[in-house]
Amino acid sequence: MHSISSINAMNLDQFTGTFAGVYESSPWVVKRAWPGRPFQDAAALQSTLRRMVEEASTAEQDALIRAHPDLGGRLAREGRLTADSTREQSRLGLDRLGEAEHAEFTRLNDAYQSRFHFPFIICVGLLADRRRIHQAFLDRLGNSPDQERREALRQIHLIAALRLSSLVEGFVPPAASTL
């Protein structure tokens, strides 16, 4: 865990190395936030990271969305996710789905990808079981592409906040309803 004073003292390489995983495979977010130091507190750091995503181009945001793996997909079964994604998906057993459940997740991932052209993203760290993920898949398949793109970015910010809370002393992620 890092204090805000130690974070503010980090050089760019240290800062990037520490926080690069907060936004899935997208260290550009962290690199753009670094000049915003000194951060008043952990919430200011989180707000700055979020703003870097919101101010990014549509192409950059789309790349960030597409950097996320399918839930319970082939990469999870093969153990080829990032450390953060592995920890998050394994918490709900998404890396150990039975054949029938894996087939259902594959069907839903494929339907979602076909409709929206990016992976289904949900903050599994806020969920208690896989049934809620399954229901969210079904519910969100009815969204418009624009609604779902906004929801994907909202979920990414929730994931980032949870990841940040494991790195920064005293940071309590905002409730899902506030993001």
Amino acid at 158: L
Amino acid at 79: G
Find where tokens 């899935």 sit. Answer: 24
DSSP string, 20-80: TTSSTT-HHHHHHHGGGPSPSSHHHHHHHHHHHHHTS-HHHHHHHHHTSPPTT-HHHHTT-
Is there a contact between 34 and 16 (Cβ–Cβ < 8 Å)? yes
- Which residue in the list 2, 68, 102, 134 is annotated as catalytic? 68
User: Other CB atoms closer than 10 Å to residue 112's CB: what's the count?
Assistant: 20
Output the six-digit token pair for 16. Answer: 């990037």
User: Other CB atoms closer than 10 Å to residue 90's CB: what's the count?
Assistant: 15
Residues 28, 15: Cα–Cα separation, whole Å: 12
Catalytic site includes residue 117:
no
* Residues with a known catalytic role: 68
